[in-house]
Amino acid sequence: MAYPHTRPRRMRRDDFSRRLMREHRLSADDLILPVFVREGESVRESIGSMPGVERLSIDLLLKLADEAVELGIPALALFPVTPPEAKSLDAAEAWNPQGLAQRAVRALKARHPGLGVITDVALDPFTTHGQDGLIDASGYVVNDETVEALVKQALSHAEAGADVVAPSDMMDGRIGAIRSALEAAGHIHTRILAYSAKYASSFYGPFRDAVGSAGNLGKGNKYTYQMDPANSDEALREVGLDLDEGADMVMVKPGLPYLDIVRRVKDRFGAPTFVYQVSGEYAMLKAAAQNGWLDERAVALESLLSIKRAGADAILTYYALDAARWLRA
């Protein structure tokens, strides 16, 4: 029927009717907290480009995990800050059983067995050149040799107790290789969160500062393995390949600039679809809020809800703790 018989504003008039017809809801269950861990004891370092986010030693990371559990956040995503002296061309520190990430996993699972621990499987924190893989003499990131290294890294994480390994490197065939290795080693319950549609985005800068790879990468780029921001159909192909190879969940990264990709992936595959609201997205909102230009709570929750509305089942966000508190209030 036409106006005045149909008045959509009638349902928007009162809080009770707005609530009754609300299509999407955000809760702590949707949130994953990315955390940066560093060597040392009782050490915390602020990250200039990510106000409110810190690099923490393992003992302080455990206290942060206590807070996440109390707020009902289901999982943490762990990113190690590798000391310069531990970096190398072959990234061997990535699969050191006594490496920083491996020790952090064991500590987290001992403290909170029910908290999901997700580990990053990529070589960029461990290479002297800052690329996500091994390079040849020309500086090109080689695929198959990198996959062999990633398999060793993923196995070391599973052996340490990681619940989810998350290859974020965008090498071809790495999901199948990791899945086969996990099965062969008896890690049949270890889940794989595949960064399937990870774009060569300019929104990653603060993250690279946080993990200490920005200086190693220098003026280099990752265009030969991360996806072209202009492409959408290609994302569906990448997601399909990773699911066929044994991924349990797929990731779209970044978040807000790629909501069309999230929607297409969810509609096509119906698989658990995660989104990373990346460091640059966080930094923009934080800076605008600190300047008094935006209401931080309102825009942060709105941005997270928009990602959920687009089809995301879970969101990695540096706002996880704040959002969980705001949603509880």
| Residues classed as catalytic | 198, 253
Name which of 60, 133, 120 is nearest 90 in CA terms: 133
How open is the CA angle 28-32-37, to the nearest 5 degrees?
135
**What are 52's two structure tokens?**
């409110």
Q: Check if the beta carbon of residue 87 is closer than 8 Å to that of residue 93.
A: yes
* 121, two tokens: 């499987």
CA distances from 18 to 14, 25, 252, 315 (A): 6, 12, 30, 25
CA angle 265, 306, 80 (to 5 degrees): 75
Find the DSSP H helices in the chain.
9-12, 15-20, 58-70, 100-111, 143-160, 174-184, 205-211, 214-217, 233-245, 259-269, 279-290, 296-310, 320-328
**Angle at the Cα of 193 from the Cα atoms of 180 and 53, rounded to 5 degrees:** 140
